Structure 1
Amino acid sequence: MNSKLVILGGGAAGVLIAMKLASQNIDVTLIDSKTFYEYTPALCSVLYEETDAKFHQHFSEISFELEPFLRKINVEFILGNAKLIKDDKVFIHQREEGIEYDYLVICTGSSYADPWKTQNGTECIDLNRRINFLNEQREKYKQAQHILCIGGGPVGVEVATEISYRAPGKKITLVDMNKTVLANAPDGIGNNAQRILNARDSITSIMEQSASQKGQEGNTYIYETDKSHTEIKADLVYNCIGVTPNSEFLQANHADWLNEKKQIIVDPGLRVTSNVFAVGDVNSVNEPKMFYTAHMQAIHFVRNMSRIIKNNTNVENLIPYHPSRPNMIVSMGPQYAIGYVSGIKLTGWPLGLNKGSHLASWGKYTIERITMNSCHLKIPVNEVLYLTSRP
């Protein structure tokens, strides 16, 4: 009789784990509160497409329904939102009986401010509801004339530059507490990103300051910076800081699994207990929380799980995970990006220093297609990245 693996979460790590283990001698069940998979990093491009038709077309290219996809690879899908874990069972809000497991991997990811990630409540979300929500967000964007982006990480930079190119008549203000945007990016590419933002007439960067809301006049939000006390009046505000692990369901009876950041504490083998693992944004591994790193952890988990299945490897002797070498590509508009890939800087040098790199932009699009498994490349490409990104 095969052992049973339950994957809790159908995002970056969860789906890749399901795809990798579907053909092995283990019964796999995936639980998610969404009926669909979504490549969230592409939303900064999708939401600001020039026409509604292009928006819907692009969104259809970065999402798919989970149940039929998983059925084809003999993985059971259960729609539900986790309530608690107890006695080797996962309990969800949508049913009374628990879902038994021999092994559990928690891949519930993280929550982010609207509209970039679906929120982790107790309700389930289908694809139509998600599209309707994004349509509402898109209408707010189309009506806005002055947009405030709080935070200069990858999301804030992509939002500002995508809007700047798509709608040059809109005014954009970006506020960040660091000297440059992308302050934690590898090899100083944040300096290149800052140069590009400064070259865009519609973008104003206010650096080394924070901004807080002081009031509201009708549909206009009034913010003020903490040092220069600059007043910013915007009719649309994007909060582009703060990632919260989706670990609320563990508070009831497994609060001891969590650290002060509410991340699930894992050992070097990504293990929480003898038969529970945590992979991706939700765990305590000290590396950037990205789709890329979630994929690398997923590949590593599968390698350990395969050893357990095939060789009866003692779970005490798992291969330790080492954080991946940094790789990053950030869009600087529909046709430009900057990046750091396998030690190579892509900044648009020498002619595109004020715009970015076409090659990096092509690379970002390629990553999107690979992530969506175009030409069945998702597994082999991530395997190669795993092997080449080890320290």
Structure 2
Amino acid sequence: MQLFVCICKYYSFFISLSFFFFKKKKKMKNIVIVGGGFAGTQVAKALEKQLVKLKDEECRIILVEKKTHFYHSIAGLRCAVVDWDKKVMIPYTNLFQEKKNTVVQASAMQLEKHQVVLDKAVPEFGTTIPYDYLVITTGTRYPAPAKATALDYDTTHADLSNIRQQVKAAKSIVIVGGGPVGLELAGEIHDVYPSTKITIVHTEPEILSDVPKVRTRMLDLLKKNGIELVTNDSVMIPSSVQETLYHPQNNVVETEGGKCFQDVDLVMLAFGNRPETDWLKSAGVLAENGYVKVKDTYQVDHADFSHVLVMGDAADFKETKLAYRITGHVPTVVQNIVQMAVKNQSPTGKYKKAPDAMVITFGQSQGVGLLPFFGITVGSWPVSLVKSKNLFLGQSWDTLNQKEPS
């Protein structure tokens, strides 16, 4: 009898041990976010917080970003005249608080139905990352210094230093493009080098066509600061120009409209905002304008990609492409991902356009703005109070769980 009991205990122990080692583990669900700009970092942080709150153990977040540092582009233009490089470049090392979540430094080259193809092999995944759900947050590209093109801190710092040297040496600068970027760039340069002659050449008949309510205030600001504005014309840029700023031959700049500017030391390009979506061309998800076709649930509008969402500047929503709109996208995107990935439900959150708003700085103490309520326009003092001094830097350092340098 004792022998029988021993055999039973041994058998029971063996079965338990076998179950422990050979039981099938639940497969982790990969939620991949492609793009580590404002949209990517904000949705990554908010999603992680929500998954922790729900005590979810089956989902992990993988952020795919080609750069080693987040570039706070809102302050990028100030780097043309002031060395704020350590302020605008923030490492991704502390973005995630949960160890299972990770940042992968690579470029997405192609979107397939259940995996993203990368430009290089990375630890754990190789050249492809499988996903159950994916969020496209690759945004738009723009000439430096508004956005950075280099992939690491040292190269970006060298590029910005080179821009600063050229701006400092110039006595006359032509800025090509009179949108918010061109206007803010003019303001930053004038703030530090008030004696530099600045000319803005804009292709449209009027500046700020998307927000005409602030146009009069901005025109007054340009006149007050001695900035020359040429509208309904375009600069004849040599085909050999590959950089976002160049020295014109013989210091002469000509326009399509027949104007000729003499003694110009430097031309800076501040136009050409384009969606960063080339990697999606083969997937068939792009509209004719290059932005991603999107449903009101933020899902990509394609039968094969209902498990893929898009937000931020890359999405083909009929709204201005400005960073402030992302805060309106994030809660709904997180809600929909949780419904699909955790609750196995169809997404119910719907896109709702936020009220139009815009704050354009002109150096550290001037600017114009359109507030998101009642269409109220404001001038330099409110703009300086809200944005001009620190350009929202603290918000990005908080998002990436880092301490802002003094």
TM class by shorter chain equals 0.7 to 0.9
User: Residue 76 of structure 2 contacts residue 147 of structure 2 at CA under 8 Å; is this kept in 1?
Assistant: no
Q: Hey, what's the Cα distance between the residues in 1 that align with 2:162 and 2:370?
A: 34
> Relative to structure 2, which stretch is displaced further, 210-219 or 127-136?
210-219
Match of 2:287? 259
User: Residue 29 of structure 1 contacts residue 78 of structure 1 at CA under 8 Å; is this kept in 2?
Assistant: yes
- Pick closer, same or farther for the CA change 1:374–1:335 going to 2, 3 Å: farther
User: Residue 174 of structure 2 contacts residue 199 of structure 2 at CA under 8 Å; is this kept in 1?
Assistant: yes
User: Residue 71 of structure 2 contacts residue 147 of structure 2 at CA under 8 Å; is this kept in 1?
Assistant: no
Q: Hey, what's the Cα distance between the residues in 1 that align with 2:271 and 2:236?
A: 13
> How far did residue 149 of structure 1 move?
0.8
- Pick closer, same or farther for the CA change 1:374–1:3 going to 2, 3 Å: closer
Q: Deviations over 1:113-157 (max 9, x none)?
A: 2332233xxxx7111111111111111111111111111111111
Match of 2:267? 237
Match of 1:83? 109
Structure 1, unaligned runs of 5 or more: 50-54, 349-356, 379-391
Match of 1:368? 392
Q: Hey, what's the Cα distance between the residues in 2 that align with 1:37 and 1:217?
A: 30
- Which residue of the other structure, out of 264, 276, 280, is the alignment partner of 2:312? 280
Instruction: Describe how 1:301-320 pairs up with structure 2 within 5 A.
Output: 301-315=333-347, 318-320=348-350
3-state DSSP class of the match of 2:94? helix
3-state DSSP class of the match of 1:281? helix
Structure 2, unaligned runs of 5 or more: 1-25, 240-245
CA RMSD of aligned residues (A): 2.5
> Does residue 1:35 correspond to 2:68, yes or no?
yes
User: Residue 181 of structure 1 contacts residue 191 of structure 1 at CA under 8 Å; is this kept in 2?
Assistant: no
3-state DSSP class of the match of 2:376? strand
Q: Hey, what's the Cα distance between the residues in 1 that align with 2:319 and 2:364?
A: 28
Q: Deviations over 1:70-101 (max 9, x none)?
A: 24344301110111122411111111531111
Q: Hey, what's the Cα distance between the residues in 1 that align with 2:134 and 2:400?
A: 26
Match of 1:386? none
> How far did residue 229 of structure 1 move?
2.7
**Higher percent of residues as strand:** 1
User: Residue 157 of structure 1 contacts residue 181 of structure 1 at CA under 8 Å; is this kept in 2?
Assistant: no
Q: Deviations over 1:303-358 (max 9, x none)?
A: 2223334532224xx3220221112111022112211122263433xxxxxxxx22
- Pick closer, same or farther for the CA change 1:217–1:287 going to 2, 3 Å: closer
> Does residue 1:155 correspond to 2:155, yes or no?
no
3-state DSSP class of the match of 2:191? helix
3-state DSSP class of the match of 1:334? coil
> Relative to structure 2, which stretch is displaced further, 321-330 or 231-240?
231-240
User: Residue 72 of structure 2 contacts residue 393 of structure 2 at CA under 8 Å; is this kept in 1?
Assistant: no
User: Residue 48 of structure 2 contacts residue 96 of structure 2 at CA under 8 Å; is this kept in 1?
Assistant: no
User: Residue 358 of structure 2 contacts residue 369 of structure 2 at CA under 8 Å; is this kept in 1?
Assistant: yes
> Does residue 1:225 correspond to 2:250, yes or no?
no
User: Residue 220 of structure 1 contacts residue 235 of structure 1 at CA under 8 Å; is this kept in 2?
Assistant: no
TM-score, normalising length: structure 2? 0.80
Q: Hey, what's the Cα distance between the residues in 1 that align with 2:247 and 2:167?
A: 18
Q: Hey, what's the Cα distance between the residues in 1 that align with 2:311 and 2:62?
A: 16
- Which residue of the other structure, out of 60, 63, 70, is the alignment partner of 2:95? 70
Q: Deviations over 1:230-268 (max 9, x none)?
A: 4355222122122111111122x31x2111111111111
Match of 1:9? 35
Question: 2:237 is matched by which residue type in structure 1?
Answer: Q
TM-score, normalising length: structure 1? 0.83
Match of 1:213? 237
User: Residue 19 of structure 1 contacts residue 73 of structure 1 at CA under 8 Å; is this kept in 2?
Assistant: no
Match of 1:293? 325
Q: Hey, what's the Cα distance between the residues in 2 that align with 1:290 and 1:59?
A: 22
Q: Hey, what's the Cα distance between the residues in 2 that align with 1:205 and 1:97?
A: 49
- Which residue of the other structure, out of 366, 384, 392, is the alignment partner of 1:336? 366
Question: 1:269 is matched by which residue type in structure 2?
Answer: T
> How far did residue 158 of structure 1 move?
0.6
Instruction: Describe how 1:100-249 pairs up with structure 2 within 5 A.
Output: 100-119=130-149, 125-185=151-211, 188-201=213-226, 203-213=227-237, 220-227=250-257, 229-249=259-279
Q: Hey, what's the Cα distance between the residues in 2 that align with 1:214 and 1:233?
A: 17
Match of 1:382? none
Q: Hey, what's the Cα distance between the residues in 2 that align with 1:277 and 1:220?
A: 50
- Pick closer, same or farther for the CA change 1:377–1:29 going to 2, 3 Å: closer
User: Residue 176 of structure 2 contacts residue 235 of structure 2 at CA under 8 Å; is this kept in 1?
Assistant: yes
